[in-house]
Amino acid sequence: MSDPGAAAGGAAVPAMPEGLNRAMITVSVMMATTVIIMDMSIASIALPHMQGGLSANQDQISWVMTIYFMMQGITMSATGWLAGRIGRKRLYIGTLIGFTVCSMLSGSAESIPEIMFYRGLQGMFSAPVVPISQALMLDSYPRERHASALAIWGMGVMFAPVMGPVIGGWLTDEYSWRWVFYVSMPFAALGVIGAIAFIRETPKDRERRFDWLGFICLGLTLAGIQFLLDRGEVEGWFDSNFIIGIVAVIGLSFYLFLAHSLTTDNPFITRSIFADRNFVLGLIFMFLLGVLVLSMNVIMPMFLQNSRGLPILTAALIMMPRGLGTLFGLVFAGRAANIIDPRAVIIFGFACVACSAWMLAGFTNEVGIVDFAIAAFVNGIGIGAIWVPLTTVSFWTLPTHLRTEASTLTSLLRNYGSGIGISVVVSVLSRSRATTHAYLAERASPYADAMQEPWLPSQWDIYTNEGLMALQAEVSRQALAVGFLNDFNLIFYGALFSIPLVMLMVRSSTARAAAG
């Protein structure tokens, strides 16, 4: 991952725009970012409809999301080198155009192999857009306004995955699952026009060679971990020789990447970037943000649809308070960044995530809509409150010429954390559901007191076929609910564990002094 400004002596960033040009860059970047990030979540709520429309099973349709994240993570790692090689503006515009074309092709797909191919390409083209957008926002505003700029940009980064299921649910319900891909095309086109008109090109760095060994080893590691978590439950984890082989590939490729990066003169990731303590800690928290917070984008709508039994559009609308909470958290964090210690705001954000997860872990299948909406709103506040100060502090002491590469790493860790988080919560859901179903089924005995009148409702009469079918459906429903509650508990403890780690970050006053 090359630094596009290294050869230029740190001058890769063009003169800071002002006035109308800065405003138009902000609008264009926000539009492109919103479209890319919304695409990651908007498809998730339409997966059941895609499964029916493409005659696929559950295992096959899950690859629509998995292959997107895998290809995005692998390609994103090369964004820094590509930006230096062909120019940041050219890369940004080219990938937006490619993403738009692949969105159209994904919407017109007629089979599982076809949509998997186009979704893989879509993930590749989407990879450079978000990190370049973040670097553009940081370059367009002076250091003292970075918190406010990131709060504005964060409305797209954090608000899009929350609103994605709402828009996707409405489009799927009113039209077809294909429209969850078509809807992004006009907005991406506007982002391309804005980039052509207002974004300035950066100098190229064609002297630095591409580290193919580092790229291949890192790509194998990222893809292997994602594949392991996605397929582990299905394959039986370490009872499968295939999974053992994947673990061996991950271990070997990561070892080679690490050893090569520490000894070569041309590492894939610039070593000096890891000398900044705040940035390294920021990477860890970005990964935790993806695992603990963004994975909720998938399981909360699933709980409402599959466990609570609500229609897709109703579930999407109930998720809207989460978006409002995110907006509130972003505004609050943007205003508080220059008043109080940013670490306090990050702690507040993780506390909100923990509180919302604790509330969700206490819900049943009969939870009221208002109660769920309150928990979703609190969770949304946590998203916004974490993201702005975390990004600001992470970049506070980094040299300007490292921003594109640093933005790539933070986006990679956040998105990869989201993919890992989704795999983990789905795995926990599947295992908990199977275990709980077996436990409850064992106790559905005609000799148990709970299975006798008057304790057993008449519709669950175990002496009739209809009653047995109804009882089986209820046992499956309760087992699924327990799986969701275990996921929420996992996120609760993860958020609590993250809070004390925040204190390891350097105080804002120290960071300012270091930055000069």
pLDDT band at 6 (very low <50, low <70, confident <90, very high): very low
Task: State residue 178's pLDDT score.
Answer: 87
Amino acid at 60: Q
Task: State residue 88's pLDDT score.
Answer: 85
- Give the mean model confidence (pLDDT) for residues 234-263: 88
Task: State residue 247's pLDDT score.
Answer: 92
CATH 3.40.109.10 matches 273-444+455-516? no
Which pTM was predicted?
Answer: 0.74
d(C-alpha 161, C-alpha 164), whole Å: 5
For residues 358-394, one letter each, b for 16 or more C-beta atoms within 10 angstroms of the residue's C-beta and e for the rest, the string is: bbbbebeeebeeeebbebbbbbbbbbbbbbbbbbbbb
Highest mean predicted confidence (pLDDT) among 305-319, 347-361, 428-442: 347-361
Residues 6 or more apart in contact with residue 403 via CB below 8 angstroms: 13, 135, 138, 139, 395
Q: What is the CATH code for 9-200?
A: 1.20.1250.20
Highest mean predicted confidence (pLDDT) among 355-369, 404-418, 444-458: 355-369
Of 170-184, 322-336, 386-400, which gets the smallest average pLDDT? 386-400
CA distance to 57, 88, 91, 268, 507, per residue, from 126 (Å): 27, 14, 11, 20, 34
Residue 501 predicted with pLDDT over 80: yes
Task: State residue 5's pLDDT score.
Answer: 39
- Give the mean model confidence (pLDDT) for residues 274-293: 83
**pLDDT per residue over 183-198, tens digit each?**
888 888 888 888 888 8
Mean pLDDT for the chain? 79
pLDDT band at 506 (very low <50, low <70, confident <90, very high): low
Neighbours of 176 (CB within 10 A): 15
CA nearest neighbour of 169 among 319, 63, 40: 319
Task: State residue 156's pLDDT score.
Answer: 65
Task: State residue 252's pLDDT score.
Answer: 95
